[in-house]
Structure 1
Amino acid sequence: MDVHNAFLHGELDEEVYMIPPPGYCIKGETRADHSLFTLTTPTSLTLILVYVDDILVAGNDLSQVTFFKSVISTHFKTKDLGPLKYFLRLEVARSPSGIFLNQQKYALDILADSGQLGSRPAPFPMEQNLKLNDTDGDPLPDPAPYRRLVGRLIYLTITRPDIVFAVNILSQFMHAPQIPHMTAATRVLHYLKSAPGQGIFFPSSNDIHVRAYTDSDWASCPTTQRSTTGFFITLGSSPISWRTKKQTTVACSSTEAEYRAMAVTTCELVWLQQLFHDLGIPHKISMTLYCDNQPPSTLLKI
């Protein structure tokens, strides 16, 4: 659904709370995500996801979904866009076998705006053992195109976990991009050219066992000597969360870097547990965390 009278640049004369004031409680708001609301009855569950003036409604009872649409339309001028196909540049394709998410149009727009539609595809997004820093190469005469490109690639990682590591490296040079950085970003575009419609598939028949895989790259940053954390979480056979991020402190050993990566991944698993609880999904099986390390045993149950 789309709300027509959302004035994003209107002048406000009244007091506005960016966070709920003390003592104020929003009924139905989930603890895991403040933009997600739930309506639970003994026989149905309705989910409402709100992003500015765009609303996504889902549920296991069509009558409850229809009732919500009728109620909200009495308070706001809304437009019912029908079954979900396109939402915030995410393309959704549904079939009896499952749901497929991708950002093909968004990826093609990036290639077109960058003039790389006719480029030769690359087999991987970044050269192996490439170490980018702040001192190699000449600065770009205009850093705006680089910053715009990396910002758009960051949003593309919503459905493309295969470019997360490369985009994480490129985003560290937004303040002063140089020619080698732009060359590496162009390599990512060449990789996207090989499969712009690649995305994520959620099969209709799947188990709800959560498995997390985490690893760290010790002292991988040549400038700060800080390590990099990476994790990948699946629900059954479907990926649901992933991240690559530079650690906030310098690890004195590879073991310390591994433990810090496991701690960050555990925080994400705890958040997922809360999200499952808010959605009314029972998850009685312990979440499994795998760490790429040898001594000691690296299998944990959460």
Structure 2
Amino acid sequence: MLACSCRYDIVITGNDPKAIQSLKDFLHTRFRIKDLGNLKYFLGIEVARSKKGIFISQRKYALDILDDAGLLGARPYSFPMEQMLRLNPTDGKPLQDPTRYRRLVGRLIYLTVTRPDLSFTVHVLSRFMHEPHQPHLDAALCVLRYLKGSPGQGILFPTTNNLKLKAFCDSDWASCPTTRRSVTGYCTFLGDSLISWKTKKQNDVARSSTEAEYRAKADACCELTWLRYILKDFGIQHSEPAALHCDNQSALYIAKNPVFHERTKHIDLDCHLVRQNIQSGLVSTAYTPTKMQIADIFTKPLGKVPFGSLLGKLGVYNIHSPT
């Protein structure tokens, strides 16, 4: 006979200490469990608490990536990707051994769990997993040099907060040099806490920047709808519509205009989706100037100044940096 001993790590959370203790007591009667106290480390994610709030990061995991790549002593960069860089599938020479690139990008994908600042760059790098070339590896190594300067960067969930949903959405029209498809980017907040974000290449080619922006708006609406269901399961109701911020005036006009016309025939379903959310009071649209558009960081590579400015607005900080 073979004996098997398995180990599982679980996290129990809630706002009722008595219910949490009751669940732990019940589990202890069925299994051998060890209570490690307040959550500090779980699946590579580090959790720190203070009077200001809860901070999550993957500092040890980031340092392990740097160590594995041999770049612990590398010169740090201020941002993860060059501003005007456009990578193509056929750039440069193919890598003789693509395993290193695939392993690196795969680890970076998991790092985006607490690093929204890497979301766009890792999205671009993952396009070339099937056949990476030297320029793709060079861009990935630039990400590591950026990590060298901020391995402990993460997300802060403030102690004082409200429970109002809001989202920012943006797109970069026809930005893919190969397919000319646009990139959608959005992020959602619960009060001042960033709770979800996304960078995604759109499925179809957009014929105008307005069309690309509207598709991004429809994706953000779907995310807000899903988050409403999740919060409802937690007993949190939203009587007010969630604010959806967009920097395209034409897209905002189409959302408020119930008349179907020539400019919207290619995005018919998205139009009806957004209008339905607005008319039912689930979403309210608002204009945000491009310079204040937080979702811009999820659609394109930015320079040092705008990139650093948007990080603070996202609630991304490095508690390990000297003050």
Structure 1: stretches of 5+ with no match in the other structure? 8-52
Q: CA–CA distance in 2 between the matches of 1:249 and 1:75?
A: 52
Structure in which a larger fraction of residues adopt strand: 1
For residues 131-280 of structure 1, the aligned pairs below 5 Å read 131-280=86-235
Structure 1 residues 128-161: Cα deviation after superposition (integer angstroms, max 9, x where no partner): 1211111110011111111111011111111111
Deviation, 1:73, is: 2.1
TM-score, scaled to structure 1: 0.80
For residues 116-127 of structure 1, the aligned pairs below 5 Å read 116-127=71-82
| Equivalent position to 2:70, from 86, 111, 115 | 115
Q: CA–CA distance in 2 between the matches of 1:239 and 1:56?
A: 21
User: Is the partner of 1:56 in helix, strand or coil?
Assistant: coil
The one of the two structures with greater contact order (alpha-carbon pairs below 8 A, sep at least 6) is 2
Q: CA–CA distance in 2 between the matches of 1:270 and 1:57?
A: 26
Native 8 Å contact 2:76 2:149 kept in 1: yes
Match of 1:282 in 2: 237
Q: Percent identity?
A: 57
Native 8 Å contact 1:233 1:240 kept in 2: yes
Match of 1:129 in 2: 84
For residues 68-87 of structure 1, the aligned pairs below 5 Å read 68-87=23-42
For residues 290-301 of structure 1, the aligned pairs below 5 Å read 290-295=245-250, 297=252
Structure 2: stretches of 5+ with no match in the other structure? 256-277, 284-323
Native 8 Å contact 1:5 1:77 kept in 2: no
- Give 2:59's aligned amino acid: Q
Q: CA–CA distance in 1 between the matches of 2:19 and 2:162?
A: 27
- Give 2:145's aligned amino acid: H
Deviation, 1:210, is: 1.6
- Give 1:220's aligned amino acid: S
Match of 1:14 in 2: none
Match of 1:92 in 2: 47
Native 8 Å contact 1:5 1:76 kept in 2: no
| Equivalent position to 2:56, from 97, 101, 110 | 101
TM-score, scaled to structure 2: 0.75
Native 8 Å contact 2:210 2:251 kept in 1: no
User: Is the partner of 1:216 in helix, strand or coil?
Assistant: strand
Structure in which a larger fraction of residues adopt helix: 2
Against the structure 1 CA distance between its residues 108 and 297, is the aligned structure 2 distance closer, same or farther, given a 3 Å change threshold? Answer: same
Deviation, 1:284, is: 2.2
